[in-house]
Each structure stands twice: as C-alpha cells, then as structure tokens.
Amino acid sequence: MIKAQEEVVDGYTKKVPFACGNLYITLNVIDGKPFRVFLKLGKTGACQRALLESIARLVTIMLQEQVTSLDRICKTLIGMTCDKGMVGRPSCIHILAQELKSYLPAEEESDER
C-alpha cells in the first residue's frame, strides 16, 4: 500500500474544457506515480459532483492499495462516453483515464478501445 508520509504531497491541477463545462483534474504524485485523484466539474449540480467525487475516491483507493495496475484502470476508463459527449469531445471519465495514462511507461501504454 502506498501511503503519504508527509502532509504536503506534490501534484497539479489541470483544467480541461469539454461538453459539460470545465473539468478540473487534480493528481497528487509520489515517486513519479499517481497517488490521489480529485475531480471537479465547474458549474455542475450536486448529483454530477457526487458521482465524480465517488469515481475519484475509488480510483484513489485502487492506486493506493495497488489492487490493480494503472494500465488496467486506464483500459477500463478509456472510451467512456456520456449523453453530453459530442463527436471529438470526450467524457470527463475518458479525460481522467488519458491523464492517468500519461504515467504509464511507454512500453506499457494500453491501446484505446
């Protein structure tokens, strides 16, 4: 299990515009590997906010407990769509998967569905 030993952990927040508005992905990173995920959708209702927070928490648990590989998480989430998605504009879950995929070594990168 990966645990943050310090109160301050490196990370960044990325703003990604898409069909529903702006998605803010915050990733905390330890030793060059994603450790914690936060998702926020600008100007959204409580239901969407709760769903995104739930997904972020589950992905965080998977990353910290190392119950599955980062590659498998990415393969599962890449290609997810929603009713707000437009041609050429991915869903917020697909955007998260793409961001996580950037942490895979080049030889391990998964193919998109």
Per the domain annotation, does 109 fall within a domain?
Answer: no
Sequence-ordered list of residues with C-beta below 8 angstroms from that of 70, at least 6 positions apart, any chain: 33, 34, 63, 100, 103, 104
Per the domain annotation, does 1 fall within a domain?
Answer: no
For the four alpha carbons of 55, 60, 8 and 25, in that order, the dihedral sign comes to: negative
Per the domain annotation, does 2 fall within a domain?
Answer: no
Q: pLDDT digit of tens for each residue in the chain (113 aa)? A: 666 566 788 999 999 887 777 889 999 999 889 999 999 988 777 888 899 999 999 999 999 999 899 999 999 999 888 776 555 667 889 999 999 999 998 765 544 44
Per the domain annotation, does 64 fall within a domain?
Answer: yes
Per the domain annotation, does 34 fall within a domain?
Answer: yes
Per the domain annotation, does 110 fall within a domain?
Answer: no
Q: What per-residue confidence (pLDDT) applies to 59?
A: 95
The values of phi and psi at residue 88, to 5°, are 80, 0
Laid out side by side, the sheet with 21-30 consists of 11-18, 21-30, 33-41
Q: How many domains does the chain have?
A: 1
